[in-house]
Amino acid sequence: MALAPELSRQTKLKEVAGIPLRDSTVDNWSQIQTFKAKPDDLLICTYPKSGTTWIQEIVNMIEQNGDVEKCQRTIIQHRHPFIEWARPPQPSGVDKANAMPAPRILRTHLPTQLLPPSFWTNNCKYLYVARNAKDCMVSFYHFYRMCQVLPNPGTWNEYFETFINGKVSCGSWFDHVKGWWEIRDRYQILFLFYEDMKRDPKREIQKVMQFMGKNLDEEVVDKIVLETSFEKMKDNPLTNFSTIPKTIMDQSISPFMRKGIVGDWKNHFTVAQNERFDEIYEQKMDGTSLNFCMEL
């Protein structure tokens, strides 16, 4: 019997300063660390599966003043380079960013301590989106299942342990969100919550617009709300990653844009897992003023 593609994967993560990352990222680490940020760069920062593509599309539409045609110039992955992305022989995220005209919009999943130092010295703008840990864990699990360049996640129960121990790509969710939250007043950081974006997209889009120094008519903002809805983006080949080859993302296993809801964790966590997670969460998040909504 042939093994299912998700079982035959041999991919291993490597580590930088204790943070697990994709091997190709680690192999390209010196280029990433010496990246030269510019003062007018806007960096979209997220832990994986926290609404990265969503906030990208929002930022893109604001940047293009709501012009849908301009937003459709290319697939979303090519609009805002991932700083740490590397897949030789293709150009790396750094190569793509270096070739971009200013002002640039870039993105990263890196925790604060691994960000190229030039971002801090240039006082860039950062847009951070945080999603509650339980939904993030579930979404990342399904992404792991379909993403052929990440290790096989095993069963849900096995992956549950991997996630709570911070052994997934980009490391601990707890450390990531706390790291960005703790420095939000020291730098130009707009810290948003995925759940607020679901609850009141218009209000959150207006915050992003102001942060980007844009002033768009209400009519345009309403259009952006509509165009960046989950349903619209799920059906849009420019945002749903359907152009990516199956050898990298096998969407027959799980779609890249799956549900986009708040509270799907309830369909995965057992009662025992939920109790255990809540205990760990309390320990890890002790002393932080971060507050997440777990269901809408």
Q: Which residues are catalytic?
A: 109
Calpha distance 209→240 (Å, rounded): 23
Kindly calculate the radius of gyration of the chain based on its CA atoms and give it in whole angstroms. 19
Residues 6+ apart with CB under 8 A from 159: 141, 144, 153
Contact 105, 59 (CB under 8 A): yes
Residues 6+ apart with CB under 8 A from 14: 20, 21, 22, 23, 26, 27
Measured torsion, CA atoms of residues 230, 138, 204, 97, in degrees rounded to the nearest 10? -80
Contact 131, 195 (CB under 8 A): yes
* DSSP 8-state class, residue 64: T
Bond before 245 cis per omega within 30 degrees: no
Concatenating the DSSP letter of every residue in 65-131 gives TT-HHHHTSS-HHHHS-BTT---TTSPPHHHHHHTSPSSPEEEE---GGGS-HHHHHTT-EEEEEE-
- Crossing angle of helices 52-63 and 201-211, rounded to 10°: 60
Concatenating the DSSP letter of every residue in 119-168 gives HHHTT-EEEEEE--HHHHHHHHHHHHHHBTTS----SHHHHHHHHHTT-S
